[in-house]
Chains A and B, each alone.
Chain A
Amino acid sequence: MPEVKLEPTKWVDRYGDYLYNFTISRINDGELAQDLVSETFLAGLKSAVNFQGNSTERTWLISILKRKIIDQYRKANSRKGKAEVRMSYLDSDQNGDWLEEQARDLRNPTVEDQIEQTELGNALNACIAKLPERYATIFVQKTIEKLDTEFICKEHNITPSNLWVIIHRARVQLMDCLRTEWYEED
């Protein structure tokens, strides 16, 4: 008997946004991210019979999604390998220098910000994955999905006081985890 019971009808509401965020921080394409999340759930349904219940639903779905993302990287790389041609957005008769284009990009502070945010996002996702399942789900629902306290309490059958204790503990664990995963790498 599996220790964790799968509840596919609740997957989209419980994990949809989290998986979407996880994907979009690695593949910068909203439509593709949506497809991969959808494919992950369908693959999960297909392999549900093989689910041992040793990991949580979330961890199991993320492992499926990770494989989908890797497959996507492979596909993209094989396409790139065939024809890697980067075109300038300036026409040949326009005054523009490729070096200037590059330099302008590099000087733009938002590029660095984006990289930092992506790295932080990835580190945070890694830290969320280390949280106990219940903490992770409730933290994500309240912080990322911004669901109502009442809704979350009903879903998990807990009181608002319990919810805030869980969120507080989750945040403390995440801050500690991020300090080692992210801040110290700077």
Chain B
Amino acid sequence: MGRIFITCEDANILSTRHQYDDLNPKERFRYKVHHSHCPQCKTIDKRNKLFTSKLNCLGWKYLTVGQKSLIKAAVRKALSR
């Protein structure tokens, strides 16, 4: 995959992956090159970033490992009956 120029479809997937810090340097370069000449994908990318920032503001709450263990134990106990 030595190509520099990528399709809009690929660029949008890279944009999504970028929200999860999943791009390697080559992919990040391709993603930036594409956005430098494609205003449509740049707009989609902005929308993607806004969505990520909204998601990050939500402050998700997670069950702790201990809480999960307690619930799992309760489920296991009920299953064994």
Contact = CB atoms under 8 A, between A and B. Distances in A.
Contacts of A42: 74-75, 78
- Provide the main secondary structure of the chain A interface: helix
A56 interface: no
Interface in A13-46: 13, 16-17, 20-21, 24, 30, 33-34, 37-38, 41-42, 45-46
B75 to A, nearest CB: 5
Contacts of A126: none
Interface range on chain B (Cβ under 8 Å from partner): 20 to 34
Interface in B37-56: 47-48, 51, 54-55
Nearest to A145: B62
Contacts of B60: 17, 21, 144
Interface of B: 12-13, 16-17, 19-20, 22, 47-48, 51, 54-55, 57-63, 67-68, 70-72, 74-76, 78-79
Interface of A: 8-9, 11-13, 16-17, 20-21, 24, 30, 33-34, 37-38, 41-42, 45-46, 117, 120-121, 124, 142-145, 149, 164-165, 167-168, 171, 174-175, 178
